[in-house]
Amino acid sequence: MISALLAALLLAPGAAEPRPPASIDGYPIGGIGRQSLPAKGCAAYLFSTGETRTLVAMAGAEAGVLRIALDGQVRDYARAATGAAVDLGFASQTRYVAGDTAVTLTMTITRRPDLAQGAIVSDATLLVERGDKDGVIMPLAGMIGCAS
């Protein structure tokens, strides 16, 4: 699974990047395409775990933002509330908000000796709550990478 995640994050230079899906397995959440490591701190890269596997979310520890594609639009959501930092600048649960949309990211971070500047996110959930629409919960998994 690690090699598949890395392959999705790090396309060969010059390779044409496939267009991320606008909707994943019937969710109003789509793929966000390739993302870079932040200049400072760590970022969590989270992938869908259903039938379609693609990069769905990126959360920056330093920047305090979560990037997702909702209803076909990629948008950054600002961190609004968080528990105590668990590891690498991330809490096990963090709430992000933009307009009338609130997104809660819950994740389990697992350190491994073969990952020098990061960790595995063995399981995660993304709860999206939008004003007058039904809430959506999407299961995710991924990894955290940190700038050196």
User: What's the pLDDT tens digit per position in 88-132?
Assistant: 999 999 999 999 999 999 999 999 998 888 999 999 999 999 988
Whether residue 27 has pLDDT greater than 60: yes
* pLDDT grade for 14, boundaries at 50, 70 and 90: low
90-91 vs 85-87, strand pairing mode: antiparallel
* pLDDT grade for 148, boundaries at 50, 70 and 90: confident
Type of residue found at 5: L
Whether residue 62 has pLDDT greater than 70: yes
Query: What predicted TM-score, i.e. pTM, was given to this entire model?
Result: 0.85
Helix (H, G, I), strand (E, B) or coil at 9: helix
Strand partners, 64: none
Residues 34-54 have pLDDT tens digits of 998 888 999 999 999 989 999
Query: In 35-72, at which residue ranges do the beta strands (DSSP E only) sit?
Result: 42-48, 55-60, 65-70
Whether residue 4 has pLDDT greater than 80: no
- Cβ neighbourhood burial of 40 (10 Å; 0-12, 13-18, 19+): exposed
The Cα–Cα gap between 135 and 124 comes to: 16
In this prediction, residue 11 carries a pLDDT of: 46
Which residues fall within 8 angstroms of residue 112, CB to CB, at 6 or more apart? Answer: 119, 120
Whether residue 58 has pLDDT greater than 70: yes
93-98 vs 29-30, strand pairing mode: unpaired
Check: CB of residue 87 under 8 Å from CB of residue 109.
Answer: yes
Strand partners, 130: 101
Whether residue 28 has pLDDT greater than 90: yes
Between the alpha carbon of residue 57 and those of residues 29, 31, 70, 104, the distances in Å are 9, 8, 10, 12
